[in-house]
Structure 1
Amino acid sequence: MNPIVRWFHQLGSPPVFDRFARRWAPWAFALALTTLGVGLYGALFVVPADYQQGDSFRILYIHVPSAWMSLMVFAVMAGYGAIALIWRIKLCEILAMACAPIGAAFTVITLATGSIWGRPMWGAWWSWDPRLTTELILLFLYLGVIGLYGAIEDRRAAARAASLLAIVGVALLPVIRYSVVWWDSLHQGQTIRVFGESTIDASMAWPLVWTVIATKFWFVGSLLARARADNLRREAGKDWVRRLVAPAAGGVA
């Protein structure tokens, strides 16, 4: 068996995943804070003010990465959910459900920062713009996944039901992505492109790269931490969990 495939099979074991998550989650958080610090320093103190928007444009260094993550996390959640439904892998159920609160948080940040930016630019905290409306629907989908998972007592049945909702909800992602193209929108068009030329000036783009990287590391750290906690709850009573908890309990006593 290929060593990488063997490693993934081993990672599906609850105790092996616990050791992996316990080891790498702190590193992911540390890298997230470091890269975020570099990005925010550049965004606040190095990048010049925009010639049209002034200093208010600086909130986009949080808004844009959060918006991208709100879509990416939902896609990852649906991917894990599909694997869980097809191959019945318990760890993928756990990872899929761990994605939902993280993605919901990124979506809330996206909507909040968008409203803060929109107030001076559009003269209103909120408008039923296609991009804003579809992003709000995405938040409701995240909350639906969280609510459905919490409403069913059987954890595995709950994860499968919520995963199905996530898979269906993926259809919304391209609608959000192309809403500013398909409909008249107050929201500005795409200025940053992974493939092709971006319209944002290079002197303003580099802090955004750092904050985008920071959100990716934060997602990884949060995913591992939340999945580890759920994994321990599900495995409570197993010998390996007792051995893990025993030293801590002895220290408290």
Structure 2
Amino acid sequence: MFGPTLDRLAAPKFFYPFAGRLLPWLGWLAAGLLLLGAGWGLGVAPADYQQGDSYRIMFIHVPAAWLSMLTYMVMAGGAFVFLVWRMKLADMLAKCCAPLGAAFTALTLVTGSLWGKPMWGTWWAWDARLTSELVLLFLYLGLIALRGAIDEPQRAGRATALLALVGVVNIPIIHFSVEWWNTLHQPASLTRMAGPAIHPAMLTPLLLMIAGFTVYFAAVLLQRMRCEILEREQQARWLTELDAP
């Protein structure tokens, strides 16, 4: 259907046009999911019996928090592949993930503060979940700064890959912090062994928003990788011969 096999897609020559064909589908799907989820969550879902309408910020906060961690795992996966197999497309993946992860993490912290003020009476608390999420933001910013400080792409890729893999330890700390410590942050509502503790009228739009954020991330990541390929491969013969947008 899409032409090159998965192993050939590891080469920028084949990945670039493949991503270009996939982008419109992902863009429209993300727009549809986000519009449906936001309309349902903000206009149709009932108010919470304790939090009132202020809980609706979770339709942004929870997907952003999910993407802040997922993006890091995708980035760390790319870093691992680059270190082991020296695959330059994997390094491009890791590089393109860092700014997106930083944006999702910052959005998580901002919306969490907006949610925390009416619930906890404060914009910020040195809660285990909040603090570990802040550490995640510093990791993203550190990776961006480290890569920018090294001119040679291979050296920059190796240095940032090592830091990204060391930082993976923070992801389970974020996820399990509400179980390991007594925190202000509410316990997990979606990933409980007994099933989600959210009413279906609220759960459905939340899942739509999570799906929409995830597809949006995939679309933006592919577009950023195409731009990175253009920058790194600008002298390649295949690129000058390619009839692609």
Q: TM-score, normalised by structure 1?
A: 0.91
State the shift of 1:196 in Å: 3.5
State the shift of 1:166 in Å: 0.6
**Partner residue in 1 for 2:179:** 181
**Partner residue in 1 for 2:51:** 53
**Partner residue in 1 for 2:222:** 224
**Partner residue in 2 for 1:132:** 130
Q: Distance in 2 between matches of 1:30 and 1:194?
A: 32
**Partner residue in 2 for 1:251:** none
State the shift of 1:20 in Å: 1.1
Q: Distance in 2 between matches of 1:64 and 1:136?
A: 15
Q: Deviations over 1:30-67 (max 9, x none)?
A: 21111000000110111000000000000001101110
Q: Distance in 2 between matches of 1:116 and 1:108?
A: 12
**Partner residue in 2 for 1:35:** 33
**1:213 corresponds to which letter in structure 2?**
A
**Partner residue in 2 for 1:79:** 77
Q: Distance in 1 between matches of 2:7 and 2:188?
A: 40
Secondary structure of 1:69's aligned partner: helix
1:33-182 paired onto structure 2 within 5 Å: 33-182=31-180
- CA RMSD, aligned part only? 1.8
Aligned residues: 243
State the shift of 1:159 in Å: 1.3
Q: Distance in 1 between matches of 2:202 and 2:50?
A: 14
Deviant stretches of 4+, over 4 Å:
none
**1:215 corresponds to which letter in structure 2?**
F
Q: Deviations over 1:70-122 (max 9, x none)?
A: 11110111011101100111111111111111111110110010001111111
| Deviates further, 22-31 or 194-203 | 194-203
| Deviates further, 111-120 or 188-197 | 188-197
State the shift of 1:244 in Å: 4.7
- Which consecutive unaligned segments of at least 5 residues does structure 2 have? none
Instruction: Give the counterpart of 1:24 among 22, 25, 35.
Output: 22
**Partner residue in 1 for 2:235:** 237
**1:240 corresponds to which letter in structure 2?**
W
- Which consecutive unaligned segments of at least 5 residues does structure 1 have? 1-5, 249-253
Q: Deviations over 1:147-179 (max 9, x none)?
A: 111111111221121111110000011111111
Quick one: percent identity of the two aligned structures? 48
State the shift of 1:18 in Å: 0.9
Q: Distance in 1 between matches of 2:165 and 2:78?
A: 9
| Deviates further, 89-98 or 188-197 | 188-197
